[in-house]
Amino acid sequence: MFSRPLKIVFGLFLLSGVVGVASPTPLMIEPGKLVVGSDFDGKRAADLKLLKLRKETVIAVEGGVLRALPPVLTPKVAGVETKWGKSTFARVGLVGLPMDYVGTARWKFLKPTDAKVLAKGVVYIDLGHRMIRVTINREGATLLLENHLAGRHDDKPAILLDEAPTLKLVPDHWYEIIVEVKGDEVVIQIDDHVLYGKHDLIATERYDAFNFDATGDGFLLDRIEAHTAGEFRKDWPAKRKQLGRR
């Protein structure tokens, strides 16, 4: 982590604590001021102003770990099934972020108990909900521009920016994630994998969220935070060439 995060705590759920490990180092941007973040170790009541729960996702935290549950696994009010009651997606994101930012997270995909759900498991990491998206499944990972930017309302295919075939969805593994977005460029590191994209659409429109969206039995967050984006690192042009991009 770049600085001591703000504390945000969301409910209670019995979970064992985990031992933290170092995050990847930013490649493109010098991180600026901490905008919002939590390591879920506090004891205070929740402040949900900067956390968006989508489509009836339920969250709870204890022992320094947040758990997000999809609606299909949560009790229905008075036995009445809601609009999203059968959804296996858990969706949690930070909102109110600046257009350019550096985000970090320590995140785990919980192994679904249903073998069919496990086989079709998919995770989205959105920088700007449904705009700049990493899609991870058991076949690999892709970095896309899609939905209302491309491939949703205009019947055009999503724009593939990069891919990492060896980055596959592994249940019950703690992923270290760092995302950087500035101007028309984006860098996403997941463990030792690096995804890079450059496109005019990145600079012209972006929804202010750092969002996790996963099918199955939910996921855990041990840490999530966002910093303003400072200047480009002096060594970024050289690192960009090392990635095979100009």
Give 147-200 pLDDT, tens digit per residue: 655 555 556 678 899 999 999 999 999 999 999 999 999 999 999 999 999 998
pLDDT at residue 3, rounded to an integer:
46
Q: Is the pLDDT of residue 44 over 50?
A: no
Is 48 or 99 the better-scoring residue by pLDDT? 99
User: Is residue 156 packed enough to be buried (19+ CB in 10 Å), middle (13-18) or exposed (0-12)?
Assistant: exposed
Kindly state the DSSP code that residue 85 receives in the 8-state scheme: T
Residue 166: its H or E element: none
Which of these, 226, 218, 229, 227, lies nearest to 107 by C-alpha position? 218
Task: State whether the Cα torsion 170-227-52-64 is positive or negative.
Answer: positive
Residue 87: its H or E element: none
Considering the four listed CATH numbers 2.60.120.200, 2.60.40.10, 3.40.50.300, 2.40.160.210, the one that applies to the domain covering 29-242 is 2.60.120.200
148 alpha carbon, distance to own chain's centre: 19
Backbone φ, ψ for residue 97 (5° rounding): -90, 155
Q: How far is CA 199 from CA 150, 191, 196, 203, in A?
A: 12, 24, 10, 7
Q: What is the pLDDT of residues 184-241, one digit of tens each?
A: 999 999 999 999 999 988 887 666 689 999 998 999 999 889 999 999 999 999 999 9
Domain spans of the chain, in order of start: 29-242
**Can you tell me the distance from the alpha carbon of 129 to that of 206, in angstroms, rounded to the nearest whole number?**
8
pLDDT at residue 7, rounded to an integer:
36
The token duo for 131 is 């705009």
CB burial of 213-224 (b: ≥16 within 10 Å; e: otherwise) equals: bbbbbbbbbbbb
Q: Are 19 and 222 in contact (CB under 8 A)?
A: no
**Can you tell me the distance from the alpha carbon of 223 to that of 210, in angstroms, rounded to the nearest whole number?**
13
**Can you tell me the distance from the alpha carbon of 114 to that of 151, in angstroms, rounded to the nearest whole number?**
30
pLDDT at residue 74, rounded to an integer:
72
pLDDT class of 2 with cuts at 50, 70, 90: low
Among 38-47, 77-86, 91-100, 105-114, where is mean pLDDT lowest? 38-47
Q: Do β-strands 65-69 and 219-232 pair in parallel, antiparallel, or remain unpaired?
A: antiparallel
Task: State whether the Cα torsion 228-233-236-237 is positive or negative.
Answer: positive
Which of these, 229, 142, 130, 241, lies nearest to 184 by C-alpha position? 229
pLDDT at residue 8, rounded to an integer:
36
pLDDT at residue 18, rounded to an integer:
36
User: Is residue 97 packed enough to be buried (19+ CB in 10 Å), middle (13-18) or exposed (0-12)?
Assistant: buried
